[in-house]
Amino acid sequence: MRPAVDASRRLALAALAAALVAGCGPKVPRLSPLAGDAVVLAFGDSLTFGTGARREQGYPAVLARLIGRKVVASGVPGETSAEGLARLPGVLDEVRPQLLVLCHGGNDFLQHLDEAAAAANVRAMIALARERGIAVVLLATPKPGFGASRVPFYADLGRELGIPVEADVLADVLSSGRLKSDLVHPNAEGYAKIAEAVADLLRSARAL
């Protein structure tokens, strides 16, 4: 009977080790719960505007339905991160959101602008929101090309500043022909995937 006991013990130890490894995975920084009447601002470029789908199919509109909160979409097609940085203060003061979902940098990459400058602009946008007591979630934009390559500075900013980052969904969507309306924009199904990922991130961060 001893071999069976040893085998059971090994299985139990393996299960315990797996649980400990899972528990040591990356933790999502916590956010304050969103009030039922909270306003969420989705800010960015054409990915936030919803180019490639009808307005009600863009990720901000789908996100509003998923989380049961008002989501204001403020996306400007073609906008670079420097232009977004200049525009953001006025939008924050007008909308007065509890949460900012920030998705910027894609046009910098398309135009081959300096990546370090894009990171600095995104950091400055985060600071503008936090100065006003607004929580921030980052939606990372990949570089276009064969597939879509992830840009490390979003995750780096998330770790440094303690903010939740959805680092994968846009790269996954823009790498799938089935989920795109053109080379750099999702279709309605792709935007729905983005909204679902942001909603999941907000749940992981205890905002919902």
Per-residue pLDDT of the chain (208 residues), as tens digits, is 444 445 445 544 444 443 333 334 468 999 999 999 999 999 999 999 999 999 999 999 999 999 999 999 999 999 999 999 999 999 999 999 999 999 999 999 999 999 999 999 999 999 999 999 999 999 999 988 656 789 999 999 999 999 999 999 999 999 999 999 998 999 999 999 999 999 999 999 999 9
Residue 16: predicted pLDDT? 42
Burial 32-46 (b: 16+ CB within 10 A, else e): eebeeebbbbbbbbb
Under 8 Å between Cβ of 14 and 45: no
Residue 27: predicted pLDDT? 87
pTM of full prediction above 0.75: yes
Residue 63: predicted pLDDT? 98
Which token pair is 64? 């509003």
Range of the domain at 64: 2-204
At 35, give phi and psi (nearest 5°).
Answer: -65, 160
Residue 147: predicted pLDDT? 60
| Distance in angstroms (rounded) separating the CA atoms of residues 48 and 190 | 12
Provide the 8-state DSSP code for 57: G
From residue 103, how far is each of 10, 13, 18, 52, 67 by CA, in Å?
47, 43, 35, 17, 18
Q: Which residues pair with 149 in a beta bridge?
A: 143
Residue 190: predicted pLDDT? 98
Total of domains in the chain:
1
Which token pair is 144? 């276009």
Residue 26: predicted pLDDT? 60
Under 8 Å between Cβ of 106 and 140: no
Helix (H, G, I), strand (E, B), or coil: what is residue 111? coil
| Distance in angstroms (rounded) separating the CA atoms of residues 120 and 80 | 12
CATH number of domain containing 106: 3.40.50.1110
Residue 144: predicted pLDDT? 81
